[in-house]
Amino acid sequence: MATNSDEVEWRSVCPISSALDVLGDKWSLLIIRDLLIHGTRTYSQFLGSPEHIATNILASRLSLLVCLKLVERTHPDAIARNNAFRLTESGAALRPVLKGLGRWAQEHLKEFHTGIIGIS
């Protein structure tokens, strides 16, 4: 678990590869999705998402996203259980990326996933 940006292991200097090092797992994208949709979220609210993220994975991903300044704690000096998370400007800039991914899934996966829902 990276606690500062020097600890992140980048596979390549390629920008796409670097983005995937951060966002290439579903959990990081779903944390960003929840913050885009709901705004500020607590640790418990993330655990309540329908995808059922494990506590150790949630803690690890939140740590990485905070380390890379995509997400920030609402009260940095408060204890973890009394904290919530929100997107930074850099994290909020991912909105068109996630919307595009959602539109692609709606168009190209509906044949295979008939329960897929629309996005706004």
With a threshold of 0.85, does the pTM exceed it? no
For residue 75, the domain's CATH number is: 1.10.10.10
Query: In angstroms, what CA-CA distances link 112 with 13, 50, 105, 116?
Result: 35, 20, 10, 9
pLDDT digits (tens, 9 = 90+) for 48-107: 988 999 999 999 999 999 999 999 999 877 776 668 999 999 999 999 999 998 888 888
Residues 39, 45, 48: CA angle, nearest 5 degrees: 130
Provide the token pair at 2. 């990276």
In a domain, 78, yes or no: yes
Provide the token pair at 4. 């500062």
In a domain, 48, yes or no: yes
In a domain, 104, yes or no: no
In a domain, 33, yes or no: yes
In this structure, how many other beta carbons lie within 10 angstroms of the beta carbon of residue 5?
A: 11
Q: What is the Cα–Cα distance from 67 to 119, expressed in whole angstroms?
A: 29
> Domain range for residue 52?
5-90
